[in-house]
Structure 1
Amino acid sequence: MADKESDEFAKGDHVTWKSHGGTAEGTVERKITSDTEASGRTVRASEDEPQYEVRSEKSGRTAVHKPGALHED
């Protein structure tokens, strides 16, 4: 598992992630710490295993990613 502190993001943080054929970038919308509906799907998350909803700068759409998939700019 990655270092816990490097996996912490806050609303408004600018991040990048690997996307279809390249790298996408956007902004953290929220940290998800419980099972919920987000970005059109059921998200399984907890305090120990959070996920982040991010908004793509290119498409304007949101997606949910695990912390290890995101890189802070």
Structure 2
Amino acid sequence: MAERRKLHEGDRVSWRSHGSTARGTVQEEITERTYAGKRTVAASKEDPQYRVRTDEGRDAVHKPEALRDD
């Protein structure tokens, strides 16, 4: 099994969103169930997710495998 990718605050990332590519900056790692990005995020220490601020100023939350270095 591949090692889980670790992202850090300030990392520039991109991801596929509605048929195009979105870009932004990692704001934080989420490691517990919380509300972020206009939805409930079921994250944990074993399965973290990342809050990303898009270049347009919106918040989004993604699993690390959905994010690519930009």
- Same fold at TM > 0.5: yes
| Cα displacement (A) at 1:3 | 3.2
Instruction: Specify the code of the residue in structure 2 equivalent to 1:29.
Output: Q
5 Å matches for 1:54-65? 54-57=52-55, 59-65=56-62
Other structure's SS at 1:52 match: strand
Alignment of 1:12-27 (within 5 A): 12-27=10-25
Give, in whole Å, the separation in 2 of the partners of 1:2 and 1:36. Answer: 27
- Gap runs ≥5 in structure 1: none
Q: Which stretches in structure 2 are left out of the alignment for 5+ residues?
A: none
* In 2, Cα distance between equivalents of 1:25 and 1:51: 16
Inter-CA distance 64–2: structure 2 relative to 1 (3 Å threshold)? farther
Matched position secondary structure for 1:63: strand
The reply on whether 1:66 has 2:67 as its aligned counterpart is no
| Greater per-residue helix proportion | 1
CA RMSD of aligned residues (A): 1.2
Moved over 3 A (4+): none
Which residue among 25, 37, 51 is the counterpart of 2:49? Answer: 51
Give the TM-score normalised by the residue count of structure 1.
0.88
Cα deviation, residue 55, structure 1:
0.8
Who is 1:31 aligned against? Answer: 29
